[in-house]
Amino acid sequence: MKRGSLIIVSGPSGAGKSALVGRALAAIQNLEFSVSYTTRPPRRNERDGVEYFFVDRREFEARIAAGDLLEWAEVHGNCYGTSRRFVDGRLERGTDVILDIDVQGADIIRRERPEAVGVFVMPPSFEVLRERLTRRSLDDADVIRMRLERACGEISRYHEYDYLIVNDGLEAAIRDLEAIILSTRCRMSAMTGPARSIMQTFGGTHAEDP
């Protein structure tokens, strides 16, 4: 069976990662979102088990101790982590898994899973990012300031990823992400199993020309 691809989407808060990932999930079959665990409280309209699994710090730390998390990080005083069991289970049955995680968490996963495909989403400018964070009215002024300060460091690491999407227009950025996801399904590393099966019909990997 063809193993699924692991796709990491990172970028500063407000770059549009969630919107891009949501549209890709709606458009592409055999693609699942890895729901992370977090200790932060849910924002309005967020549902447990959909956007995140909302847990307290005690449960989160127990999952760390048990080795249940593929990666975890503390961001703005809240912890976020990726379920190892969920990711590996989907990949083994051939489903592509997409992660929406920060740069710190992405770095951990890419060290442990070097085959993962990294996509960095960048806003067109600092001014646009500030406007987006202010307009969405999810955080107070102090939190927005912290997010902008953190964004300066995150942006500087864009070159560590395999692909870069500049989200200057949502529809164009969505098309870019969908193209990247679909292209991962034809990588040599993803197609080794099917290729070997086909080669067997030609007499094995050393089949001679007729």
Task: Write out the two tokens for 7.
Answer: 């796709």
- The count of domains in the chain is 1
**Residue 210: which pLDDT band, with cuts at 50, 70 and 90?**
very low
- Give the pLDDT confidence score for residue 205 in this predicted structure: 58
Could you read off the pLDDT of 125-137 as tens digits, one per residue? Answer: 999 999 888 887 6
Q: Is 52 inside a domain boundary?
A: yes
Q: Is 205 among the domain residues?
A: no
Domain assignment present for residue 159? The answer is: yes
Q: Is residue 210 part of a domain?
A: no
Token pair for 140? 């107070």
For residue 208, is pLDDT > 60? no
Q: Indicate if the pLDDT at residue 45 is higher than 90.
A: no
Average pLDDT rounded to a whole number, residues 7-21:
93
CATH number at residue 14: 3.40.50.300
Q: What is the dihedral of CA 129, 132, 137, 138, to 10 degrees?
A: -60
- Amino acid 87 reads V
Give the per-residue pLDDT at 188.
Answer: 85
| Strands (DSSP E) found in the chain | 6-10, 31-33, 36-38, 52-54, 69-75, 78-83, 96-100, 117-122, 163-166
CB-based contact 42:51 (threshold 8 Å):
yes
Q: Residue 201 falls within a domain, yes or no?
A: no
pTM, rounded to two decimals: 0.84
- The verdict on residue 154 lying in a domain is yes
Domain residue limits at 124 = 6-191
What value does the mean pLDDT take over residues 51-59?
93
Q: How much of the chain, in percent, has pLDDT values that exceed 70?
A: 95
Q: Is 209 within the bounds of a domain?
A: no
Q: What tokens appear for 63 in the block?
A: 């999952």
Is 174 a domain residue?
A: yes
pLDDT tens digits, one per residue of 72-119: 988 778 999 999 999 999 999 999 999 998 888 899 999 989 999 999
